[in-house]
Amino acid sequence: MTQPDGIMLQTTPNNPTLPGKESRQNATTARTSPRILPALAAFALAAVFSTAAHAQVVGPKGRDSAKTDREVFIEAARAYLGTPYALGGSTGRGIDCSGLIYRAGLDGPDIQLPRTVESLSSYVEHINDQSRDRGDLVFFNTTGKLSHVGIYLGDGQFIHSASDGPKTGVIISKLNESYWSKSYRFTGRLFNPSAPSGPAVTDNRPGSGAGGVTDSTLALNMFPFSGEIGLRANVTGAALWDFMPGEFPLRGATLGGEITWAKNTQLLPGLGAGITWDSRTESLSVPLYASLAGVQGIRLFMGTQLHLLAASGLSKKPQFPGIIGLSWTSPPVHALGQNVRFYQSMEYSWFPDETSNAGFRLSTGVTLSYDL
């Protein structure tokens, strides 16, 4: 009836600059620190701007502060009544069962919930039927595995997006209907039963409790994992720039891919590679790095580089570390079917014996993320 849905600066005063780069004879250690201050300022401003932009996209509109998260969650879901069913959809043009939960979380209490039935079942606190309350999630097995979810409205009713049957799309059904009573599996609590707002404080998710994944930390997760396997693939394209006096700010571009582990964790380890052109060093390089990111978007990365091309006089021999940096990625904005995220980093990339301070650079671009 339904379908399953930081920066390291390595400088040596009085050493020569890069061959052929006489215009940077005065690019010495004394000028490195002044460049860092405006760079850090730009980094902070970019973070604030992106966060504000996200709030405008998904923030609650006209919410009555006296209402609980449960109430606004239900109201947001009801706003989609009559919307056609669309597998993978999460808009007023078409929506699936987990898409309805996802949109109700964003449109109502302004929380970003997992996007699949399975990940939602791991996210909530499993409770007994007698404790079921309005705004809890009800889960069903309609295909031989957990495959459908709805929002309990009280009085035995729930709102959901059905893919098959006499009525499809976003409708209200009763739990005691023959089909739903047979396929019903359990109820999951998303919000505190008595507190006016906020997600539930205890759960039975793997790793929850002391030292594990708790609701208080999950509430800070700007991009909850919504896949099945546990891997998140990130593809980032960005422009390289800096504040080098007498130089044009734009210095190159980079394109990279990264795989991180993102399931049931607050620290996301990852491995990545890419291709980078940097006009300051006339280099074409392949960075290879490991990273560690937090759920709030801050990420530290370090690795080496394979230099395919470099300016005359620069050694192309790999070294470690050859690149180190700190980045921030915004919460996603869903556009054209993609999770699009603003990306900003500051990093240091250098060659053996390079002393011109040309390695400090910033990177600004976008990241596309896919949960697998």
Q: Are 123 and 114 in contact (CB under 8 A)?
A: yes
On whether the CB atoms of residues 261 and 231 are closer than 8 A, the answer is yes
Structure confidence at residue 4 as a pLDDT band (50, 70, 90): low
Q: Where does the pLDDT of residue 55 fall: very low under 50, low under 70, confident under 90, or very high at 90 and above?
A: very low
Annotated active-site residue 148? The verdict is yes
Of residues 213 and 108, more confidently modeled = 108
**What are the angstrom distances between the C-alpha of 159 and each of 94, 104, 138, 334?**
15, 11, 10, 24
Greater model confidence, 356 or 142:
142
Pick the closest to residue 346 from 369, 366, 367, 323 (CA basis): 323
Q: Provide CB contacts within 8 A for 113, sequence distance 6+.
A: 101, 102, 105, 120, 123, 190, 224
For 120, the 3-state DSSP assignment is: helix
Amino acid 65: pLDDT? 57
Q: What is the mean pLDDT of the chain?
A: 78
Check residue 352 and give left, alpha or beta (phi > 0: left; psi -120 to 50: alpha): beta
pLDDT band for position 315 (cuts 50, 70, 90): confident
pLDDT of residue 304: 96
Judged against a pLDDT cut of 90, whether residue 145 lies above it is answered with: no
**pLDDT tens across 94-133, in order?**
999 999 999 999 999 999 899 999 889 888 988 888 889 9
- Residue 121 or residue 246, greater confidence: 121
pLDDT for 283: 92
Q: Kindly report the CA angle at 20 between 15 and 22, in degrees rounded to 5?
A: 65
CA proximity to 4, closest of 106, 121, 91: 121
Residue 226 in this model has a pLDDT that exceeds 90 = no
221 pLDDT band, cuts 50/70/90, is low
pLDDT of residue 361: 93
Q: Are 9 and 357 in contact (CB under 8 A)?
A: yes
What would the mean pLDDT of 251-278 be, rounded to a whole number? 93
Q: What is the pLDDT of residues 13-25, one digit of tens each?
A: 344 444 444 444 3
Map out the domains of the chain with their CATH numbers. 26-55+230-371 (2.40.160.20), 69-196+198-218 (3.90.1720.10)
Q: Is the pLDDT of residue 66 over 50?
A: yes
In single-letter form, the type of residue at position 369 comes to S
Of these residues, 54, 126, 160, 334, which one is catalytic? 160
Query: Mean pLDDT throughout 56-73?
Result: 64
Annotation marks residue 160 as catalytic = yes
- How far is the CA of 249 from the CAs of 26, 27, 241, 361, in angstroms? 17, 15, 5, 10
Token couple for 281:
């060093």
Above pLDDT 90, what percent of the chain? Answer: 47
Q: Which of 54, 126, 148, 334 is catalytic?
A: 148
Confidence of residue 205 (pLDDT cuts 50, 70, 90): very low
Q: What is the mean pLDDT of residues 229-238?
A: 92
Inform me whether the pLDDT recorded for 280 exceeds 80: yes
- From first CA to last CA, the distance across the chain in angstroms is 25
Average pLDDT over residues 55-81: 72
Coil, strand, or helix at residue 255? strand
Confidence of residue 210 (pLDDT cuts 50, 70, 90): very low
Over range 340-357, report the average pLDDT.
Answer: 84
Is 50 exceeded by the pLDDT of residue 64?
Answer: yes
Q: Return the structure tokens found at 29.
A: 């250690």
The first and second tokens of residue 189, run together, are 């609590």
Q: Which helix (H) or strand (E) holds 138?
A: strand 137-141
Judged on CB neighbours under 10 Å (0-12, 13-18, 19+), 313 is middle
**Three-state SS at 99:** helix
36: helix, coil or strand?
Answer: helix
> What is the distance between the alpha carbons of residues 355 and 359, in angstroms, rounded to a whole number?
9
Considering 97, 126, 307, 334, which one is annotated as catalytic? 97
Alpha carbons 22 and 29: distance in angstroms, whole number: 16
